[in-house]
């Protein structure tokens, strides 16, 4: 399984940004979710949002609900994270990943092996 992330960069507070995560594997991603974690400097990695490729069920962390929207193109096995009304506290390295949807909510750093990971992409929001 390979995950190719794109997007990221710098934006001012209140701005928007979109991340993409394309999953490459022989069989369709049907039983797993695709989404993002983020890690701010000096903080632990946290689950941000994820979506089931099969039926579109989603997860959002409380800190991003109402501001971030996750979507998918199942045919392309690609997930998209539209981030609106960005805040400085959204700054960090965003990692796309695939794993069980419930694992985003119950995430603990000891669970990293439960996911396949893509490369991190920096998101910087300035005040």
Instruction: Convert the pLDDT of each residue in 2-17 to its tens digit.
Output: 999 999 999 999 999 9
Question: Which positions ≥6 away from 15 have C-beta within 8 Å?
Answer: 86, 125
Res. 33: pLDDT tops 90: yes
> Which neighbouring-strand residues pair with 99?
33
- Structure tokens of 123? 């998101």
Average of per-residue pLDDT values in the chain: 94
| Distance linking the first and last C-alpha atoms of the chain | 37
Tell me: the pLDDT tens digits for 41-85? 999 999 999 999 999 999 999 999 999 999 999 989 999 999 999
- Which pLDDT score is estimated for 85? 98
- Which pLDDT score is estimated for 43? 94
């Amino acid at each position: 399984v390979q995950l190719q992330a794109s997007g990221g960069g710098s934006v001012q507070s209140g701005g928007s940004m979109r991340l993409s995560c394309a999953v490459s594997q022989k069989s369709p991603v049907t039983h797993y979710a695709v989404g993002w974690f983020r890690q701010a400097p000096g903080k632990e990695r946290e689950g941000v949002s994820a979506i089931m490729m099969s039926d579109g069920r989603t997860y959002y962390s409380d800190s991003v609900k109402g501001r971030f929207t996750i979507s998918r193109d199942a045919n392309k096995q690609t997930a998209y994270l539209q981030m609106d009304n960005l805040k400085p506290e959204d700054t960090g390295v965003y990692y796309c990943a695939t794993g069980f949807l419930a694992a985003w909510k119950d995430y603990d750093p000891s669970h990293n092996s439960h996911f396949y990971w893509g490369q991190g992409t920096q998101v910087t929001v300035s005040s």
